[in-house]
Amino acid sequence: MMLIEETQVPGTALPVQALKDHLRLGTGFADTGTADSYLEELLRAALAAVEARTGKALFQRDFRWSVTRWRQPHAQALPIAPVSAILSLTLTDRSGAGTVVDAGRYWLERDSQRPRLKATGTALPAIPTGGTAEVRMRAGFGPAWTDLPAELRQAVLLIAAGYFERRHEEGAEPGAMPFGVMALIERWRTVRGFGSTC
């Protein structure tokens, strides 16, 4: 199972000015332009941290996901949410030859936690032995910063600000999230049960 991000969040969509305001940086801070690119890096790292903890794509973009077998014959939970569209489903055999599946054979069951690819009939198309199914999908809350839920926006800013404030500390653990951030993202986290088939 492999999830690949096909499109990136454009730099123009990142809330660099909101982070500057949050940090209360002076106007002269970004005069050279190098500060903005550094803040953009911090925001990308903070976005990645929130996405990893929640299983959500924050900004809308395209992903490609491949699997070697379906967890259930008639439905397959997708590894990220929220998914707004299934762009294509391709079956590839062990020799690498691919066949695009007709979109009428499957549909997207939308869900804020665990969206699923579902069969229109009784079963999803069979994955060839030794082959893969590749699902291309569009996921994320939207293309703009304001499309993200307020608590997730605040979590991103808090994490990015923490990275900025600890930028000169040696041995700082970037993976540790403050309690306040965990409280903000808690309701967006996907709970997975052991042995779950969905």
CA distances (Å), 35 to each of 9, 26, 46, 161, in order? 19, 12, 16, 14
Domain ranges within the chain, ordered by starting residue: 7-58+148-188, 61-139
**Using the 8-state DSSP alphabet, how is residue 56 labeled?**
B
Q: What is the pLDDT of residues 112-143, one digit of tens each?
A: 899 999 999 999 999 999 999 999 999 999 99
Please give the model's pTM, rounded to 2 decimal places. 0.84
pLDDT digits (tens, 9 = 90+) for 169-184: 665 555 567 788 989 9
DSSP state of 193: -
Q: What is the pLDDT of residue 32?
A: 57
Torsion sign (Cα): 171, 174, 178, 182: negative
Answer with the residue of higher pLDDT: 196 or 50. Answer: 50
Task: Give the pLDDT of residue 88.
Answer: 98
> Whole-angstrom Cα distance, residue 17 to residue 43?
11
Please, which pLDDT band fits residue 197 given cuts at 50, 70 and 90?
very low
Residue 185 confidence (pLDDT) above 50: yes
**Band of residue 31 on the pLDDT scale cut at 50, 70, 90:** low
Whether the predicted pLDDT of 153 surpasses 90: yes
